[in-house]
């Protein structure tokens, strides 16, 4: 079989080379659709999760029996690409509050839905900083009862927890390959059956069933499909291992310098830890861990390398000084006990320097 990088055909071409490229694209489309409970024809490949979110956040979307959505409601802890609002004008975008635990406030969502026309609600399945799993199924019920639609940013959830758009009631869901070990620069929007009115962001050729113009990234799409297949096959085992290691890491962090773990009282992703300690500055922590060979982040890793306060921690109601010291550690499929030991030793060294100051 020819490797995806070696395919020279355009998937829209009818010659043999084009047909082979099309076969690879459609095989990956089927893999993702199967993994998330969708039909292959409702999977739209994009350049990244950001573009997938922009495509999903479209005024005029409508379900089989409802009117078109006229406004957008997003939680205060969403990724920057969702907070930007897609193609909704600023005045039509509302913000949903979150609790101190980092979960969307469903009572506030209900109140917002009562006051205004049909809404598209965007809620992430799992927060990219705290790892907190959001009550998307309950939110879907509330949104649908109010005549609206629900978009779920499932980029962090895919491959870490089971996710099926039918189970959670999502009308649209977005994904990104690099979060599950696939190539960077390829994402996807999945649309539930019966959702109408999706207008392309990029116009031109008729690729992706006229929902996203531009020649498909065949190698990226093939990598996405392969990553989905491999990750889903090992999901249960990897999640159990990550949970064990995460709990050990958190127990060690808590015992040093009075550290606090955010959202530790709610269900979270098995691989994500967001913490802080009195006097800790995120930029100091990023540098200190890096010098010990440990890569950590402050806020979202999509902020062009800037170290800045966490908008998630701020939205949870913490003091700005606390949000400036929030540091995230993520575990991967290759993380082992020795890596946890190294991270804790690095944290001990860093905390000792904090105490001296």
CB 307 within 8 A of CB 286: yes
CB 124 within 8 A of CB 315: no
The band of 307, judged by pLDDT with boundaries at 50, 70 and 90, is low
In angstroms, rounded to a whole number, what is the distance separating the alpha carbons of residues 299 and 222? Answer: 30
User: Does position 299 have pLDDT exceeding 90, yes or no?
Assistant: no
The band of 355, judged by pLDDT with boundaries at 50, 70 and 90, is low
Q: Do domains 4-233 and 235-356 have the same CATH topology?
A: no
The top-level CATH class assigned to 235-356 is alpha beta
Place of tokens 């959830």: 157
The pLDDT of 286-298, averaged and rounded, is: 93
User: Does position 300 have pLDDT exceeding 60, yes or no?
Assistant: no
In angstroms, rounded to a whole number, what is the distance separating the alpha carbons of residues 222 and 270? Answer: 27
The band of 304, judged by pLDDT with boundaries at 50, 70 and 90, is very low
Collapsing DSSP to helix, strand or coil, 132 comes out as strand
Q: What is the CATH number of domain 4-233?
A: 3.40.640.10
Spans of all domains in the chain: 4-233, 235-356
pLDDT one-digit tens code per residue, 101-154: 999 999 999 999 998 999 999 999 999 999 999 999 999 999 999 999 999 999
Find the helix or strand (DSSP H, E) in which 314 lies. helix 311-315
Q: Which of 302, 307, 314, 342 is catalytic?
A: 302
What Å distances lie between residue 137 and 15, 94, 156, CA to CA? 45, 20, 16
pLDDT at position 58: 95
What six digits make up the tokens of 307?
């170290």
pLDDT one-digit tens code per residue, 216-239: 999 999 999 999 999 999 999 999
Q: Which residues of 56-91 are buried (b: 16+ CB within 10 A; e: fewer)?
A: bbbbebbbeeeebbebbbbbbbbbebbbbbbebeee
User: Does position 168 have pLDDT exceeding 80, yes or no?
Assistant: yes
Collapsing DSSP to helix, strand or coil, 160 comes out as coil
Its pTM surpasses 0.85: yes
pLDDT one-digit tens code per residue, 268-278: 999 999 999 99
Residue 302 known to be catalytic: yes
User: Does position 60 have pLDDT exceeding 50, yes or no?
Assistant: yes
In the predicted model, what is the mean pLDDT of the chain? 93
């Amino acid at each position: 079989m020819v490797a995806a990088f070696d395919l020279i055909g355009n998937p829209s071409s009818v010659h043999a080379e084009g047909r082979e490229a099309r076969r690879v694209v459609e095989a990956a489309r089927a893999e993702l659709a199967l993994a998330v409970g969708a039909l292959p024809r409702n999977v739209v490949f994009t350049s990244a999760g950001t573009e997938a979110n922009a495509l999903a956040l479209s005024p005029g979307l409508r379900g089989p029996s409802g009117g078109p959505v006229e406004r957008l409601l997003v939680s205060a802890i969403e990724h920057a690409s969702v907070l930007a609002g897609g193609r909704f004008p600023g005045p039509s975008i509302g913000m949903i509050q979150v609790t101190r635990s980092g979960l969307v406030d469903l009572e506030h969502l209900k109140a917002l839905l009562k006051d205004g026309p049909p809404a598209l609600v965007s809620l992430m399945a799992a927060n990219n900083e705290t790892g907190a799993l959001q009550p998307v199924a309950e939110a879907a019920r509330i949104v649908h009862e109010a005549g609206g639609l629900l978009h779920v940013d499932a980029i962090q959830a895919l491959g870490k927890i089971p996710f099926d758009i039918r189970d959670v009631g999502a009308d649209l869901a977005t994904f990104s390959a690099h979060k599950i070990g696939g190539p960077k620069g390829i994402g996807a929007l999945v649309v539930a059956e019966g959702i109408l009115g999706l207008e392309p962001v990029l116009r031109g050729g008729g690729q992706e069933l006229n929902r996203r113009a531009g020649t498909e990234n065949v190698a990226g799409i093939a990598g996405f499909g392969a990553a989905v297949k491999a990750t889903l096959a090992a999901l249960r085992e990897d999640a159990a291992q990550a949970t064990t290691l995460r709990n050990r890491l958190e127990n060690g962090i808590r015992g040093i310098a009075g550290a606090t773990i955010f959202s530790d009282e709610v269900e979270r992703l098995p691989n994500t830890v967001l913490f802080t300690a009195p006097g800790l500055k995120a930029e100091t922590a990023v540098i200190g861990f890096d010098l010990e060979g440990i890569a950590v982040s402050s806020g979202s890793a999509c902020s062009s390398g800037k170290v800045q306060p966490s908008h998630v921690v701020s939205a949870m109601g913490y003091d700005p000084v606390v949000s400036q010291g929030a540091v995230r550690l993520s575990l991967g499929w290759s993380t082992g006990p020795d890596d946890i030991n190294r991270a804790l030793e690095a944290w001990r060294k860093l905390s000792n320097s904090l105490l001296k100051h």
